[in-house]
Structure 1
Amino acid sequence: MPYCPPCDRHFRLENSLDQHIRAVHSQTYCWRCERHFPHARAKQQHLENSPRHHICTHCDYEPDFDSQDDLADHLIEEHHACIPCHEYFSDEEDLLEHDVDVHHKCRTCGRFFSSRSNLINHRKTHAAKNFECLGCSRMFISRSAMVLHLEANTCESGSDEHSIRQCVWDYYEIYGRWNHDHDDDLDCGSCGTYFNKLSALLQHVESESCDASISDYDLLFDHIEQSIC
C-alpha cells in the first residue's frame, strides 16, 4: 500500500500518494531518487552533490537535466556560459566574441578549431568563389587555390606543376627577375622569401604574414593565361 514516511500515512492509490507529495512535500522530496529529506536545504545539498542530478544553480535548481551534456547546452543557451572557462557573459553576442577570440570558433558554421591558423584556413571554405581558372571555367575562392588546381593537373587545359613553373621562369626572364642563385625556387617580390611552387608563393602573399599584394602578380597571371590557352 502506498505510504508517506514523513506523515506516517497510507494511501489507497499510488496516484493519491503522488498528489500528496506534490502538495505537501515538494520542497523536501526527490522524485528521481524517490527519497524524502528532513528539510529543503538537505534536498538542495543532495541535488548539488549527487551524480544522478544535473541542476542549474542559476534557475533555483530547476530543471534537473538528464545528463551533464543537457545541462551544458542549457547553460550555453540560457545563461551565455563558456563551459571550458567557467565564465558567464551578459548576452549571446559577448559569448560569441569570446568563443571566436579564445576558442577559435567559426562564426558561420559554429565549429571550433585548435588554433587561429586552422580557423583562418577553414573560413576559406565559406568564401565566395570569385576567381575563374585561367585554363577552364571552374571557379575558386582564391588565386592560390586556382593555381593549385592548375599545378595538380586537374584542369582541362592539361597544365601541371612543371608547365606552370616554366611559365613563371619565362616570365622572370622577360621582366628581368631571374635569380640564378635560386634556380629552382620562386621568390616573393616583397619580402624575398623563396617557395618551391607558385601556389605556395601565392598562399604566402594572400596571408597576413606579408605586405605583398596579389595584384602585384596580375602581369604574371596574364602571362600564364596566354601560355596555357
Structure 2
Amino acid sequence: MSSYCDRCERHFSSHFAYCQHVRDSANHNVCDDCGIDFSSWRGLKEHWVQDPDHDYCQYCNEHFPNRSALIDHYYEDHHYCETCNRVFKNEHGLHEHNRQRHEDRYCVSCKRLFRAESNLRSHLNSSIHQPKDVPCPFHGCDMTFVSKSALILHLESGGCQSGVDRQKVNRYVRDMDRNNIITDPSRLLTGGDDTVDYIATVGSWNGRAYECVLCHSQFKALSDLNRHLTSPRHQSKIYKCPLSTCGVRFRTLSALCQHIESERCGIMKFQAVRNTLDNMLTGVGRIAYY
C-alpha cells in the first residue's frame, strides 16, 4: 500500500519506504517518545530542552533516564549552577556567575558555593582563611586556635593537658558571671550545679543495641553510649544570648561564643558583651583551679 508525505509532497510505494524517508530526511525530526514530528532539527532540540518530560543535555545531544542522572552529568562534564539551572562554557564563566549572582554564599578564593550564608561565614572563619593566633594559655599545651570559641571547645572537650573539662568551665563562668549576662539565673535554684552525670551499664542493652533512656538513640558499644551521655546533648541550656531580641539558649560556652562570633544577631556591636567575654577569657588560666 502506497504512502504520501504531505510535508515533502512525495509518494512512496510502501509504508516501509515512507518510514525510512521520515527517518532519513532532514525535513522530518521525530521525537520517538512523544510521537511528534518537527520540520527542523532545531525545533526537535528545543522540544527536548524545554519539555520537563525529557532529561536531555543539549551540549552533548544525549538523553538521560532521569533528572538526577542529568544533573550528575552536568556536574561531571560541564560547569553547572544548580541554583539557577544554568550550564556555562567554562570554569571562568561559572566562577563569574557565582561571584556576581551568589556573592552572599560564594567563597571567591576557594571557588566554593555554599548552601547558606551562615555556611560561608563559618568557612571564612575557619583555619582555611584565618590564622591560628589564639593560644591555649595552659603550660605544656602548645595548641593554637582560630577563635576564642575554638579555644573554649578545646577546654570543654577535656583534651587539654591542664585537665580542664566542661564542668570546670561551667563552674568558672558561674562564678564570673554574677550579673547573669550570659547565664540563666534560674541555675541558682539548683545551687549552681549545672551538670548532671549520666552513666550507662550493661542494663542498657535492649537486645539489639545499647539504648539511651533519655533520647532512645542506639549504639553498638557501651563505650559509645557513655560518650554520648557525657556529651552536652542532655545537659541544660544554661547559657543565653545577651541580646533580648535574640534569646537563643545554648548548652555550652563554646556554642554561645560561636553564636556571638558569627554575628548572626548583631550582638557583637555591644561593647558590654565584648567586655564580658574578654574579661572572662583573659582569666581563663584560672579555670584549672575550679
Return the TM-score normalized by structure 2.
0.47
Counterpart of 1:132, as a letter, is P
Match of residue 25 from structure 2: 37
* Post-superposition offset of 1:98: 1.5
User: C-alpha displacement at 1:37, in angstroms?
Assistant: 3.0
Partner of 1:225: 285
Counterpart CA distance in 2 for 1:69 and 1:176 is 52
* CA separation of 1:205 and 1:212: change in aligned 2, threshold 3 A: farther
User: Aligned pair 1:168/2:173, yes or no?
Assistant: yes
The equivalent residue for 2:257 is 202
Spell out, residue by residue over 1:80-109, the C-alpha distance to the aligned partner (whole angstroms, 9 max, x if none): x745435699x65344231344xx344344
Residue of structure 1 in register with 2:117 after alignment = 116
Question: Relative contact order (alpha carbons < 8 A, sep ≥ 6): 1 or 2 greater?
Answer: 2
Displacement of 1:207 = 2.5
CA contact (8 A) 2:239 2:252 kept: yes
Aligned length: 182
TM-score (norm 1): 0.57
- Change in 2 beyond 3 A, CA 1:167/1:83: closer
Q: Any gaps of 5 or more consecutive residues in structure 1?
A: 1-34, 57-62
Displacement of 1:143 = 0.5
Measured on the aligned residues, the alpha-carbon RMSD in Å equals: 4.2
The one-letter code matched in structure 2 to 1:148 is L
Query: Which aligned segments of 4 or more residues in structure 1 are displaced greater than 2 angstroms?
Result: 35-56, 63-77, 81-89, 91-97, 104-127, 169-173, 175-197, 211-215, 226-229
Match of residue 28 from structure 1:
none
Counterparts in 2 of 1:99 and 1:176: CA distance versus 1, 3 Å: closer
Structure 2 unpaired stretches of 5+: 1-22, 29-38, 49-53, 65-69, 189-193, 195-237
Identity over the aligned pairs, expressed in percent?
25
Q: Residues 21-100 of structure 1: matches in 2 within 5 Å?
A: 36-38=24-26, 42-49=40-47, 54-56=57-59, 64=61, 68=70, 72=74, 77=79, 82-86=81-85, 92-100=95-103
- CA distance change for structure 1 residues 146 and 212 in 2, over 3 Å: closer, same or farther? farther
For residues 106 and 163 of structure 2, the distance between their equivalents in structure 1, rounded to whole angstroms, comes to 39
If each structure's helix is expressed as a fraction of its own residues, which one has the higher value?
1
Q: Do the aligned partners of residues 176 and 142 (structure 1) sit closer, same or farther apart at CA in structure 2, a change above 3 Å counting? A: closer
Cα distance in structure 2, aligned partners of 1:42 and 1:176:
75
Is the 8 Å Cα contact of residues 98 and 113 (structure 2) preserved in structure 1?
Answer: no
Would you say the 8 A contact 2:136–2:142 is kept in 1? yes
CA separation of 1:197 and 1:38: change in aligned 2, threshold 3 A:
closer
- In the aligned structure 1, how far is the partner of 2:240 from the partner of 2:81? 44
- Label 1:88 to 1:54 Cα distance change in 2 as closer, same or farther (>3 A): closer
1:155 is displaced (CA, Å) by: 1.0
Partners of 2:122 and 2:262 within 8 A in 1: no
Alignment of 1:101-140 (within 5 A): 101=104, 104-125=105-126, 126-128=128-130, 129-135=132-138, 136-140=141-145
Q: What letter corresponds to residue 40 of structure 2 in structure 1? A: A
> How many angstroms does 1:140 deviate by?
1.5
Q: Which residue of 2 aligns with 1:60?
A: none
